[in-house]
Structure 1
Amino acid sequence: MTTGTHLVVGLGNPGPTYAFTRHNVGFWAVDDLADRYGARFTLSSRHRAEVASVVLPASPGVDAVRLVLVKPTTYMNESGRAVQAVAQFHKIEPGHVVAVHDELDLNAGQLRLKFGGGDNGHNGLKSMRAHLGTGDFHRVRVGIGRPPGRQAAADWVLAKLKPSDADSMRVDAAIASDAVECLVRDGLEAAQNRFNN
């Protein structure tokens, strides 16, 4: 029996055009979590999202935890609509919401977890704050670095990745999945101590 339910939203843009971009690392992370536990995403039109559910099994001293995994089918700047709809449906409070997203202010290969804060120009986080009515949710921030030279940030995050960069981002997404599991099982401080780098 699970003693808690968390909503884990991977932030990204739907469709094949955006599938292999830096902005979609959140999607990659929740895909990884679903794959680990044999879950499949199904389209929920009324929630404007693809949704899957997994249970992290209990272990000695740790209760089982249910995760509702969400990939919004809206574009990034409307992600909050899906998060709000799924959270209300499953009666999940903002404090049990985890957003996995790309972070320009961290170098590729860096990962940071935190609770609350601003959106730092990230349209997905901005939309979540607006629709949840608070910024008090957890964030797993996956570093993608700043663009080289004078390239615009929007072009950088939406550029199709080279195969070698995609391979590196798959690793980063898998580590983000590990961080989510640690966060919901052991708490923020334990997850920060283990994964913040």
Structure 2
Amino acid sequence: MKYLIAGLGNIGPEYEDTRHNIGFITLDKLAAKHEATFEHSRHAFVTEIKHKGRSIHLIKPTTYMNLSGKAVSYWMNELKVPAERLMVITDDIALPFGKLRLRAKGSSAGHNGLKDIEKCLGSQKYPRLKFGIGDDFGKGQQVDYVLGRFSREQFDELPFALDKACDMVYGFTTTGIDRTMSQYND
């Protein structure tokens, strides 16, 4: 059975290790656990890992965050993966740093990457894993915060949240979304 996991972020060295790139960072961690390397392909960096008989395709869109739907819809069609076997991993300022929340569907909540995916798929019905980055910024500072790098304390705590996010991907692909949500969502 095939799954598509799309980690959202922006390409380029100026965006590496920023809060907005937590989707990329999560997929890098997942690929490293399987000694898989990403290759540049159509609209994304792609790789494939195997877990418990599942074929899990990982993509990091090269279309920049605001056009993530182009890469996601292309790879869904290319791999013939239905929306229920897609998971989008993205940052979320509404969640405290390190908190993870898996949802089967939902609104974009103002997130431009999710908005574009919704537009391209014509639906809000696709699983997403929201990775909390917190909202420790002043009025008018959201863009700088989201595109900023993790604090020292956050960076030290990040490996634990990344391991949990990887476990949630494994759960999603093996035991299903409902069981994974009840096991991991707080």
Q: TM-score range by the shorter chain?
A: over 0.9
Give per-residue Cα distances to partners, 1:86-125, cap 9 Å, x unaligned: 1111111111110011111110121111111110011111
Distance 1:21 1:189 in 2: 30
Give per-residue Cα distances to partners, 1:118-169, cap 9 Å, x unaligned: 1001111111111122111111111111133325221111012233322323
Q: TM-score of the superposition, structure 2-length normalised?
A: 0.94
Distance 1:5 1:182 in 2: 14
- Runs of at least 4 residues off by over 6 Å: none
Give the corresponding residue for 2:37.
40
Matched residue of 1:53: which SS? strand
Give the corresponding residue for 2:166.
177
Pair 1:196-2:185 in alignment: yes
Pair 1:31-2:20 in alignment: no
My pick for the range that moved more, 159-168 or 84-93, is: 159-168
Shift in Å, 1:196? 0.8
| Cα contact 2:17–2:25 (8 A) shared by 1 | no
| Cα contact 1:25–1:169 (8 A) shared by 2 | no
Give per-residue Cα distances to partners, 1:13-36, cap 9 Å, x unaligned: 111111111111111111111111
The percent of aligned pairs where both chains have the same amino acid is 34
Distance 2:141 2:117 in 1: 24
Distance 1:174 1:26 in 2: 13
Give the corresponding residue for 2:18.
21
Pair 1:56-2:51 in alignment: yes
Distance 2:29 2:149 in 1: 20
The 1:171–1:19 alpha-carbon spacing in structure 2 relative to 1, beyond 3 Å, is farther
Distance 2:162 2:21 in 1: 10
Gaps of 5+ in 1: 58-63
| Cα contact 2:10–2:65 (8 A) shared by 1 | yes
Give per-residue Cα distances to partners, 1:48-99, cap 9 Å, x unaligned: 1000001102xxxxxx111110000111001111111111111111111100
Gaps of 5+ in 2: none
Distance 2:6 2:90 in 1: 9
| Cα contact 1:25–1:173 (8 A) shared by 2 | no
| Cα contact 2:97–2:154 (8 A) shared by 1 | no
Distance 1:34 1:101 in 2: 17
Matched residue of 2:123: which SS? coil
Give the corresponding residue for 1:61.
none
1:165 maps to amino acid: Q
The 1:15–1:170 alpha-carbon spacing in structure 2 relative to 1, beyond 3 Å, is farther
Give the corresponding residue for 1:102.
91
Give the corresponding residue for 1:168.
157
